[in-house]
Amino acid sequence: MKYLKLLLSMAEDENIAIIEMKLTGKNKGLYADKVIAINSKIDTAIEKTCILAEELGHYHTSVGNIIDQSKVENRKQELKARRWAVNKLIQVEKLVDAFNAGVRNRAELAEFLEVTEEFIDITIKHFLGLYGPYYAIGNYTIFFSPLWVYKKLE
């Protein structure tokens, strides 16, 4: 759980308290006033890591109460926080590492990257928006929709 340790250290450096508590509705995590609350019903460290990353993203990118997602401004801030989380946890080159390690499906990729499958979806959308339909690095081309890696033979 290398990511969890990294994120906990970041929170400690910023004097952000992290608590687990029952949250209502669909809320898995909330951030306000240097406190991150994570829903105590979440039982996997991997999911808690993904939620913590996004909530730290809110600390770094959001302003005010953005719970009402019917407002465009709030949805934009939610997206910024998710992008921040992706940038902290997954670099595009890790998709090549996963390919070279023999990862062949979404579940294996989530396990390899130590994130949830939902976070994989968020990551792919982020990379698609950032790089377009593909990203070339060295002998590899990573296609994002659908996700696959092509290796040029030399």
What pLDDT sits at residue 59? 94
**Side-chain half-sphere CA neighbours of 105 within 13 A:** 1
What pLDDT sits at residue 74? 81
What pLDDT sits at residue 4? 86
Judgement on whether residues 100 and 151 belong to the same structural domain of the protein: yes
What's the domain count of the chain?
Answer: 2
- What's the pLDDT tens digit per position in 70-105? 888 888 988 999 999 999 999 999 999 999 999 999
Which domain range does residue 113 map to? 90-154
Judgement on whether residues 109 and 147 belong to the same structural domain of the protein: yes
**CATH number for the domain that contains residue 39:** 1.10.10.2910
Roughly how many angstroms between the first and final C-alpha of the chain, as a whole number?
36
Where the chain has pLDDT below 70, the residues are none
Judgement on whether residues 73 and 106 belong to the same structural domain of the protein: no
d(C-alpha 43, C-alpha 87), whole Å = 24
What pLDDT sits at residue 52? 97
